[in-house]
Amino acid sequence: MRSKTVLEILPLIVLLLVTINLAMAESQQPQLHHGFGLALSSVQNAELAGATDAELSPLVDELNRALTVNLNALKESPPSSLGQVDQTLTHVQAEANSIQQSALRRTSTGTLTAYLSGAFAAVIATLLCAIGINVRGKYHARRLTQRRITLK
């Protein structure tokens, strides 16, 4: 009965020890704040939407400052709080999303303008071509009439 209890508890103890060991090993690895990936993703999406360098530069500067704070905090023993990094990353994400929205609006307006300009240019070209053909036709007809009169 006793050995049965030990056999039941033993796997639990092993599991507990492994979990503690893994947790300790993980905490020994200096890690950057997980929010950096999300913040980078937001900035890249804003860039893909057409945000300019001038719009994104302040965000990149903020991210680099947060990176320095994060790395300095990791050097301290025990690592100090990353609250400031957290705040900066949240702010960068919000700003990048807002820039992305305005860049998207700007890009779609630009695309619409480009296509409308293209369509307008095509209409003008067609009209000019039609006028040209018309004028050429009239000129030929007049020349033909003049030649007939001269031959008589």
Q: How far is the CB of 112 from another protein (least distance, A)?
A: 9
Q: How far is the CB of 104 from another protein (least distance, A)?
A: 13
- Residue 125 as a binder of another protein (CB under 8 A): the answer is no
Radius of gyration (C-alpha) of the chain in whole angstroms: 36
Question: CA-to-CA distance for 145 and 136, rounded, in angstroms?
Answer: 14
Q: Tell me if residue 50 falls in helix, strand or coil.
A: coil
- Residue 118 as a binder of another protein (CB under 8 A): the answer is yes
Sequence-distant (≥ 6) Cβ neighbours of residue 134 within 8 angstroms: none
Output the six-digit token pair for 36.
């950096």
User: Which one of residues 14, 22, 71, 144 is an interface residue with another protein (CB under 8 A)?
Assistant: 71
Sequence-distant (≥ 6) Cβ neighbours of residue 38 within 8 angstroms: 89, 93
Query: Where does this chain touch another protein (CB under 8 A) — which range of 20-28, 114-122, 126-134, 142-150?
Result: 114-122
φ, ψ of residue 81 to 5 degrees: the values are: -65, 145
Q: Which of residues 5-64 bind another protein (CB under 8 A)?
A: 32, 34, 36-38, 40-41, 43-44, 47-48, 53, 56-57, 60, 63-64
Binding residues (CB under 8 A) for another protein: these are 32, 34, 36-38, 40-41, 43-44, 47-48, 53, 56-57, 60, 63-64, 67, 71, 110-111, 114-115, 117-119, 121
